Amino acid sequence: MTKLWVVKIGGNIIDDPSQLNDFLRQFVLLDGLKILVHGGGKIASTIGDKLGIVSRYEQGRRITDAATLDLVTMVYGGLINKQMVAAIQALGCNAIGLTGADANLMLADKRLIKEVDYGYVGDIKQSGINALFLHTILLQGMLPVIAPLTHDGEGIMLNTNADTIAQEISKAMAGLMEVQLIYCFDKKGLLANVSDDTSVIDNIDEEIFQQLKQEGVVTGGMIPKIENALSAIRAKVSKVIIGHAADIKQLATGNAGTKIQ
Amino acid sequence: MTKLWVVKIGGNIIDDPSQLNDFLRQFVLLDGLKILVHGGGKIASTIGDKLGIVSRYEQGRRITDAATLDLVTMVYGGLINKQMVAAIQALGCNAIGLTGADANLMLADKRLIKEVDYGYVGDIKQSGINALFLHTILLQGMLPVIAPLTHDGEGIMLNTNADTIAQEISKAMAGLMEVQLIYCFDKKGLLANVSDDTSVIDNIDEEIFQQLKQEGVVTGGMIPKIENALSAIRAKVSKVIIGHAADIKQLATGNAGTKIQ
Segment B49-65 shows an average pLDDT of 84
User: Which of B36, B69, B73 is the best mutation test for A, with the most CBs of A within 10 A?
Assistant: B73
DSSP codes of every residue in A21-50: HHHHHHHTTSSSEEEEEE---HHHHHHHHH
B237–chain A nearest CA distance, Å: 27
List pLDDT tens digits, range B93-130.
Answer: 999 999 999 999 999 999 998 888 899 999 999 999 99
Per-residue pLDDT averaged across A29-41, rounded? 95
- Asked if A151 lies within 8 A of B75 by C-beta distance, the reply is no
Say if the Cβ atoms of A86 and B101 lie within 8 Å: yes
Sequence-ordered alpha helix ranges (H) in B112-161 = 131-139
* Closest CA relative to residue B162, chosen from B61, B235, B243, B82: B61
Cα–Cα dist A92/A112, whole Å: 43
Residues from chain B contacting residue A90 (CB–CB below 8 Å): 153-155
Q: Model confidence over B140-192: pLDDT tens digits?
A: 999 999 999 999 999 999 999 999 999 999 999 998 999 999 999 888 999 98
pLDDT band at B193 (very low <50, low <70, confident <90, very high): confident
ipTM: 0.95
Mutation pick from B79, B106, B107, B125 vs chain A, by most beta carbons of A within 10 Å, is B79
Record: contact A50-B47, CB cut-off 8 A: no
The pLDDT value given to residue B41: 81
**Percent above pLDDT 70 for chain B:** 99
Average confidence (pLDDT) over A23-31: 97
Which pLDDT does position A193 carry in this prediction? 87
pLDDT band per the 50, 70, 90 thresholds, residue B224: confident
Predicted confidence at residue B2, as pLDDT, reads: 93
Mean per-residue pLDDT for A138-156? 98
For helices B66-74 and B42-50, give the axis angle rounded to 10 degrees: 120
* Minimum-distance CB partner of A89 among B51, B75, B151: B151
**Best mutation target, A72, A73, A140, to test chain B (most B CBs within 10 A):** A73
Q: How confident is the model over B186-199, as a mean pLDDT?
A: 90
- Cα–Cα distance for residue pair B204/B240, rounded to 1 Å: 10
In this complex, the residue of B50, B97, B103 whose CB is nearest that of residue A94 is B103
- Say if residue B28's pLDDT is above 90: yes
pLDDT score of B92 more than 80: yes
CA distance A195 to chain B (A): 37
Per-residue pLDDT band at A115 (split at 50, 70, 90): confident
Whether the CB-CB separation of B256 and B244 falls below 8 Å is answered with yes
pLDDT for the residue numbered A146? 98
Nearest-Cα residue of chain A relative to residue B156: A86
Residues of chain B contacting residue A142, judged by C-beta atoms under 8 Å apart: 103
Question: What is the distance between the alpha carbons of residues A22 and A97, in angstroms, rounded to a whole number?
Answer: 20
Give residue-wise pLDDT tens across range A191-212: 988 889 899 999 999 999 999 9
Query: Range with the lowest mean pLDDT among A9-18, A138-147, A220-229, B77-86?
Result: A220-229
Query: Model pTM?
Result: 0.96
**Residue in A159, A95, A66 with CA at minimum distance from that of residue B101:** A95
Among B78, B98, B103, whose Cβ lies nearest the Cβ of A79?
Answer: B78
Read off the pLDDT of each residue in B75-81 and give the average, rounded to a whole number.
98
Name every residue whose Cβ is closer than 8 Å to that of residue A184 and which is 6 or more positions away in sequence: A7, A8, A9, A10, A13, A23, A243, A244, A245, A248, A251
Nearest CA in chain A to B138: A103
Cβ distance A47 to B50 less than 8 Å, yes or no, reads no
